[in-house]
A and B are shown apart, each in its own frame.
Chain A
Amino acid sequence: MGPTEDDGGASNYSSIYVESFEEMISTLERRSEDSHDEVSGIKSGMEADGVDTSDAKELLTIFDWVEDELPMLRRRLSLAKVAHGGQPDELSASVFEPVTLPTEDELSEARDLADRINNHGYTDAELAEIIHDVAGELDTSDPDIMSEFFGRLGVQQAEQLISLMYETGSETMQEDIQAFSRGLGAATMDTDPSAEFTEFVEEFTTAPTHDGNLVTPVAWGRLALMQSGNFDQEFVENAVTANGLDQFGENNNFDYRGGGNVAGNAGLPDDVIALAFGALGNHPEASRNVINGMPGDMSDVVDSVFGYCGSVGNDDVADAFGRAINSGAGVNDEYWRDHSDEAAQFAFSFMLAAGEHPEVPWGIKQHMGELAASYRQEILTGASMDDAKFRDSSMSAPDNFDGLYNVDPAFYLSPEDTYRFLHGFADTDELMAPFDEAMGEMFELLPSQAAGGDQRAQEDGEPDPRQFEKMMTAFGNLAGLQNTAMLDVRGDMDERDKAIREGIAQVLTFGLGKVPTPQTIAPKLGWKAFTYVVGKGLSSYTEGGETRVDQVEAEDHQMALTMHYMVAEALLDADYPHTELPDEITDENGNLLPVEDIAKSEEAMRAFAEWTDANNTGDGTPFDDKVDHGAGVFLGGQDNAEHTVESWGLGEEWTPSK
């Protein structure tokens, strides 16, 4: 069974929190052994001097009891590690009870499975069948059985296994590789392995070299068995380091391809470095430790990887490196509001390092987009130019930087570094989709929350803190930077503009609920539309009905209306004081009509504009001012961003041509 959040209330299984359980066992073992030795020594002294030792003996039985318990505790830990499968630490793993130690028969069967491969003696079709049968019989949930199997199989056979599948014409190669990989992962979770498997681990994590150079086919054969399943962290670190990354760190001017024809049939990259990073892709801590441990700093590592990607001319390494980076940065297993310090530091270093490159390998771009989505608070904060505009990037808040309402970034990028990172994946809407969606979600949420904060402050008699305006400005800054990056990378944006117009037009025509697109269209399209409006500096919509020169202009007007609507809606959601909504823009319950209904009627569009303009009541900052400011960031947002980017003097590689 996999991880669970409950407490294991059912009677037939245990819920084990792997990290704490492992610490408990090691502490218990160490302290109990020390105490046993100490009490034993005292007892000998007592006996020598004729002291009654009955209590000392009884005390020793307690420590003996602990010793007797340890194998079963370790067995549970091993099973729990496999069941936990690299999930976040806060989730427990379920282990069925009663747990038993594997019987000698079971261990013998595991050895027999390995012998069927080891002893066949011919590289023929029958061996392919044997390997396939064995793969199907592996109990990949049992670390003790798996370590027995691989201990018997031996490293040389293991590292040749995939080549054997290829040479024997296996038709089930890919699924078999996954089974052996999961099995090997489980074996490495055995906390009390046999001497044979201990030796296996030692050999597997020793660099295969000839004349000081990595023997890439051997390293490939090993690392190819580590692309599925979850592995013991130390094993992963040692294996990827020994079988590739150690030498790569010293010398990236070497051909690390090692899979040859086998790789294609195996459905795996033929590059050892791609496999090494690939093995880190679902091991966050190992990824951080290994990449941070490579020679130089993150900037050097990124230089080295990007340089190598260019020389081998395929995207596998960049793709795998991106997965390793995102793993270490907590993209897969941490909530975006609550990144760990280690993951955030790792992400920060990578963002700065990647931002040194005006061209990044294509294979890493999608991962950069996902990283930006996961660090959406940090990107929004980084784009903010309201105060401390000339700050340097840092892990702590810069001086004179107030931050944004209900945004809690783990680090602070400068606007320039934010731009540089966005530039890396601005090539297509597909690459930007995860980021657009993340920003859309925040755009739906944060302005309204900030407006609510402003309102409460004013109700308490304080001056308007204008968090709403700061928030809208930050979103406007970000949209401008994003748009400028897209302009530079893509050259022209006609296709994108058309797609967004059509998307919005579709929403406005049919209503959000009726558009046959995924549920996520609202945030994604909302943010794309916002960047579009900022890019175009669209501000008016009331004339649309009267002066429609062509369809494009009409759609732009509708777009501007949509943006104004979103701003007003954010304020209404926050119950910001406002005048009564006129009948033309309300439904039967007095609520603001959906934007698609307003867009259909010239009268409603005009009423909406007049209503927002007329909203000047109240003691605090009027609703109208808030809307005007919110909408104001559409105006000149692009010019502002382009001028700012130009002022950094980054050169042609980074700046849109005039």
Chain B
Amino acid sequence: MCGDDESTNPEYERLKDLKDRVTNNRDSIEEALKDAKNRMDEGDTWTGSAAATPWAEEVAGRHRRIPGLVDGMIDAIEARMSEVGESGDSTE
């Protein structure tokens, strides 16, 4: 433990909750496009060079970007947490 309730920075706590929310939902967010990406890779859902192939690339590209963006959100929250500080004393 790092101190009593009085010394806890509420903004820090909110940010921590926000970070937890991102972490807890990370799997489902990262899987949003996974099924479509997998089905397109497996080749028994939609094929054809005119539309299916470009769409498969589009969906795969976006699917690959999601983990990095989720990391970016967590990094941004952690950066802000560092700024605001954990205890009430260090706020502002």
A residues bordering B, Cβ < 8 Å?
Answer: 7-17, 20-21, 23-24, 27-28, 31-32, 34-35, 38-39, 41-42, 45-46, 49-56, 58-59, 62-63, 65-66, 69, 76, 92, 97-99
Contacts and interface: CB of A to CB of B under 8 A. Distances in A.
A13 B40 CA distance: 16
Contact of B51 (A31, A50, A99): A99
B52 A32 contact: no
A160 B27 CA distance: 54
A49 B73 contact: no
A336 to B, nearest CB: 24
A69 B55 CA distance: 10
Contacts of B14: 45, 49
A38 B50 contact: no
A28 B33 contact: yes
A275 to B, nearest CB: 36
Consensus secondary structure, chain A interface: helix
A46 B46 contact: no
B44 to A, nearest CB: 6
Nearest to A36: B32
Contacts of A15: 46-48, 52
B6 to A, nearest CB: 21
Given A31-B28, A51-B80, A97 B48 contact: yes
A7 to B, nearest CB: 5
B69 A42 contact: no
B59 to A, nearest CB: 8
B45 A24 contact: yes
B28 A38 contact: yes
Contact of B15 (A51, A63, A69, A92): A51
**Helix, strand, loop or mixed for chain B's interface?**
helix
A65 B44 CA distance: 23
A13 B62 CA distance: 24
Contact of B46 (A14, A42, A63): A14
Given A9-B49, A15-B47, A17-B46, A27 B36 contact: yes
Nearest to A6: B47
21 contacts: A7-B47, A10-B48, A11-B49, A11-B50, A14-B52, A15-B46, A20-B45, A24-B39, A24-B46, A32-B33, A39-B29, A46-B76, A51-B77, A51-B79, A54-B72, A56-B69, A59-B29, A59-B69, A62-B33, A62-B69, A97-B51
Contacts of B66: 59, 62
Contact of B70 (A20, A54, A59, A66): A59
A32 B32 contact: yes
Contacts of B47: 7-8, 14-15, 92
A531 B70 CA distance: 73
A13 B69 contact: no
A45 B18 CA distance: 7
B36 A28 contact: yes
Contacts of A13: 48, 50
B36 to A, nearest CB: 5
Contacts of A62: 32-33, 62, 65-66, 69
The 6 closest A-B pairs by CB, nearest first: A55-B72, A8-B48, A97-B50, A14-B48, A35-B32, A20-B45
B4 interface: no
Given A24-B35, A34-B28, 15 more contacts: A7-B47, A14-B47, A16-B45, A23-B39, A28-B36, A35-B32, A46-B76, A50-B80, A55-B72, A55-B73, A55-B76, A58-B69, A59-B66, A62-B65, A76-B51
Contacts of A8: 47-49, 52
Interface in B1-52: 11, 14-15, 18, 21-22, 25, 28-29, 31-33, 35-36, 39-40, 43-52
Nearest to B14: A49
A308 to B, nearest CB: 44
B51 to A, nearest CB: 5
Contacts of A53: 73, 76
Nearest to B61: A62
Contacts of B35: 24, 27-28, 31
A49 B29 contact: no
Contacts of A55: 69-70, 72-73, 76
Interface residues of B, number: 40
Nearest to B48: A8
A42 B80 CA distance: 14
Contacts of B29: 35, 38-39, 59
Contacts of B70: 55, 59
B30 to A, nearest CB: 9
Nearest to B22: A42
Nearest to A13: B48
A52 B44 contact: no
Contacts of A17: 44-46
A342 B52 CA distance: 32
A34 B48 CA distance: 30
A16 to B, nearest CB: 5
B48 A52 contact: no
A24 B48 contact: no
A99 B52 CA distance: 11
Contacts of A10: 48-49
A8 B48 CA distance: 5
A52 B78 CA distance: 10
A65 B72 CA distance: 20
A559 B23 CA distance: 81
Given A32-B33, A65-B62, A21 B45 contact: yes
B55 to A, nearest CB: 8
Nearest to B12: A49
Contacts of B46: 14-17, 21, 24, 76
> Which residue, B29, B32, B62, B84, has most C-beta atoms of chain A within 10 A?
B32
A46 B51 contact: no
A323 to B, nearest CB: 31
A27 to B, nearest CB: 5
Contacts of A66: 32-33
A240 B16 CA distance: 57
B27 to A, nearest CB: 11
A50 B43 CA distance: 44
Contacts of A97: 48, 50-51
Contacts of B32: 28, 31-32, 34-35, 62-63, 66
Nearest to A20: B45
